[in-house]
Structure 1
C-alpha cells in the first residue's frame, strides 16, 4: 500500500494576505547583489533553470508568481476535470505557493522586501497533495516522473512519509525510490525536506529525503542552530532557514510559516543558481558544492544540521571547479560539535540581539570600573605600608 505523505510545514493565514514590507531575516543573511552578480536563475544563453515543485499546486494569481510558473507544463495528479479547484496553477492549501515563492518569486517593490532566491528561474507546478492529505508515495513517484518528462533541472519535495499516527517513519517505498533514482540518473538535482518530527530528539530516516543521492534539508533558526522541530538523522545533508519564513500565498500577499518545507526550497533556489552559472556541472556536483560551502561548527557531518547551514553566496563564489564529494576541514579548531537547542524558540530578533549586546557592554564597563577602583585601593594600602605619603609631590610642610 502506498505510504501517506505529510506536508513539512503547518502555518495558516487568510488568503489573500497583506504584503509584508520588510526584508525577511532569511534574506537579510544573504548579500543578494553579490549572490546575483552573475545569474538570477538563467544561464549565459538566457535559458531559465526549471525547478519542479511537487506539492499542493502553485497559485499564479499572486503577482510575484504570475510570470514565474510555466503554466503549460506540470500536471494535477489529483483532481477530476470538473473540480473547480482543479489545475496545477491553483492552490487551496497555500503550501505549494509558499514553497514556489521561496525559490522563484519575482521582486515587487516597494510593496514587499521578499523575493525568491532565484527570481529568474521557472517553476514547474505538479499538484500531488491537498488539504485532505490525499497524496501518497505513489502519486509522489508519478509527480517525479512528470517532472522528468517536463525537463526539470531541480526537483523540490517538501513532503515526507508518515507513520500510523504514532509518528513512526515508514520504510522506503520501492516505487518512490525507483522514481528518485530515475531522476538522479537523468542528472536532476533532487532536494527534499527532512520533516518536522524532531521534537522528541530521536534520529530516524524520512523518505524521500533519506534516499541515496537526495539532498536532505533540515531547518535552522536565526542563530544558525537546528530548529528543534527539525528531524535529525544521519541522512541530513545541510540545514537552511526554516523559522519565521516569509513567502507568497494564494491570491496575493505573503504570510509567515515554519517548517522544513520552507528550508528545502531555500536550498533548491541555491541549486537553481548553481545550475544556471554552471550548466555543465552534474547533479551530484551541485549537491557537493552546497554541502562543501555550508557554514558548520565542526569538521564532520552532524546528525542535526548535516554539513552545516547553507551559505548561498559562498556556494556561488567559492566555485573555481566542480567537486564530487565533500572534503573535510582538517583544522582541529573547527572540531566542535554542533549545538543542539534545548527548547523550541523562534530565534533571536535583531532587537533582542542588540539588547543582549548592550547588556554585555554595560556589564563589562561595570567590571572595568570595579577593577580600576580595587587596584587604586590596593596601591594606596601598599604605599601606606611602605611609609609613602599619599599627598602629591611638591606639597609644602607646616
Structure 2
C-alpha cells in the first residue's frame, strides 16, 4: 500500500516523504481521496487510462502540426525555377483547370512562311517575341511569345488579334510523369515475367535524364546502347529519377529485374527538370523540341510516360509525328477513376496505357475513359531509383513501357507494318480481363511479355 500511496502522491504533484520523517498530512483533494480508497488494481487501471489519454493528446497535437506543413506533392500556385547558382530561369504558375504553365508564355507551331504572314498581319506580335527556333525534322517553326497580363488568356488573344491565331497557339503548359514516389528504403517489387522479345530493337522516349553511371544501365553492359540528348538549359540541375526508372524496366541488367528489351538501343530525350524534390516537370516548349529530335532518329516508337492538358500546339505536333508513321505510346494518367482525360494519351491514334497490379486489379489512381486502349503491369514494379537501388514503384508511367516494348518488337520484326496494323495485332494479343470487348478501365485488355507473335 506504501508504494501505491507514493505513486498516487507523485501523480498528484505532492511532495514525497523520506523514511522516518514526520510531516503533517496535507489536505488531499477529494478526487485523490476517492482514488486512494480504491483497490490497487483499479488505481493502476486509471493510471494507464490517464497515460493513454495523454499519448492520444500528444498524437493529435503532432498530427495538427503536420497538417500545417505544405504537401510535397502539391506545388505552390507560383514558383520560380532557379539555376544552379540561384538565378531565376522562369516562373511556374497555376492556370486554367488547375494545370500549370510557364508564366505568360504562349507557343505558336507553324511554318516559317506562316509566321511571317502573321507578322505582316499583326506587327504587334513581334514585340512579344521571346524565342524562335526551327524544328528541322518536322519542317516547322516554334515561336515563343511573352504576352502582357492583359492578354494572358485564349479569349483575350482572340479578341486582340483573331480566333484564327488560336489554331496555331497554346500556353507553354507543363507536363508531369505519371509515377508514384518510390519508397524511401529498398523493398521487393514485381518484375516482368519475361522479356518482350530478344531481337535488336530501337525505341525513343521523352523523360528525365538517365543515370547512365549505374552499372545496371551502363551502355557497355550487355547489349544496351543509350543515345541521350538533353533539351534543357545547361545551368539547370539534371533530374534522374523518373527516366532512370523507365529505362531500368526496358533494359536494366540487375538480378532482380527482367528487362523488357535486353537488346535495346534507347534514344532518350531529356526534357524534364525538378520542380521540387518530389515533382518533375517538362514545359511544352522543351517537349516539342525533344519530339522533333526523336523524329530525326531511327525509331518508329516513342514512349511518353507523361500527361498534362489538351493543347492545340501539342495536338498539332502529335498529328505531324503520326503522319510520319510513328507509333506513340502514352501513360493514361494517375488522376483517379473520375478524372478527366489527360494528354497526349487521349489524342486519337496515341496508344493510351493504364496500369494493373499482380492480382489483375486496376491501379487505384489510374485514369479511366474511352481513350484507354490497353493495360499492363504497373503497380509495385521493381525499378531502379536514381541511386541505383531497386524499389517498388507504381503508376501508368511504369505500364506504358510494357506496351511500348511490344510495339517496338512488332515494328522491329516486321518493319513494313503500319501503326494501325501493329495496333490491330495488339488487340489480338491483349488478354481481356474486364467487360467483353473494349472497356474504359483496361481497354482491349492486358499486354504482357513475352510477345506471342506469328512472324512468318
TM-score above 0.5 = yes
> Could you say what secondary structure the match of 1:58 adopts?
coil
Gaps of 5+ in 1: 43-48, 87-91, 162-169, 322-398
**Is 1:319 aligned to residue 454 of structure 2?**
yes
Matched with 1:336 is: none
Find out whether 1:5 has 2:175 as its counterpart: yes
1:189 equivalent to 2:330? Answer no
Stretches (4+) displaced over 6 A: none
Contact kept? 2:402, 2:448, Cα under 8 Å: no
Please give the residue correspondences for 1:1-398 in structure 2 after superposition, counting only pairs within 5 Å: 1-12=171-182, 25-28=190-193, 30=194, 32=195, 36=197, 40-42=198-200, 49-67=201-219, 70-71=225-226, 73-80=227-234, 82=235, 85-86=237-238, 92-105=239-252, 107-108=253-254, 112-132=255-275, 133-161=280-308, 170=309, 172-198=310-336, 201-202=337-338, 204-297=340-433, 298-313=435-450, 316-319=451-454
Question: Could you state the TM-score of these two structures normalised by the residue count of structure 2?
Answer: 0.57
Per-residue CA distance 1:36-85 (angstroms, 9 max, x = gap): 4xxx141xxxxxx22112011111112222127655x44211132x55x4
Residue 179 of structure 1: CA displacement? 1.9
Q: Contact 1:59–1:249 (CA<8 Å) still a contact in 2?
A: no
Residues 62 and 248, structure 1, Cα contact 8 Å, conserved in 2: no
Q: Distance in 1 between matches of 2:256 and 2:262?
A: 13
Q: Take 1:236 and 1:118, find their aligned partners in 2: how far apart are those partners?
A: 24
Q: Secondary structure at the match of 1:53?
A: strand
Unpaired runs of 5+ in structure 2?
1-170
Q: In structure 2, do the counterparts of structure 1 residues 293 and 55 end up closer, same or farther at CA, with 3 Å as the change threshold?
A: same
Residue 228 of structure 1 deviates from its aligned partner by: 1.4
Cα contact 1:217–1:237 (8 A) shared by 2: yes
- Closer, same or farther in 2 for the Cα pair 1:185/1:104, shift >3 Å? farther
Q: How many residues align?
A: 278
Q: Which is richer in strand?
A: 2
Query: Larger Rg: 1 or 2?
Result: 2
CA distance in 2, matches of 1:140, 1:288: 28
- Given the two structures, how large is their TM-score scaled by the length of structure 1? 0.64
Shift of 1:123: 1.0
- Shift of the 320–277 alpha-carbon distance from structure 1 to 2, 3 Å rule, reads closer
Higher relative contact order at CA 8 Å, sep ≥6: structure 1 or structure 2?
1
CA RMSD of the aligned region, Å?
2.3
Verify the 8 A CA contact 1:159 1:195 in the aligned structure 2: yes
In structure 2, distance between residues paired with 1:123 and 1:203: 32
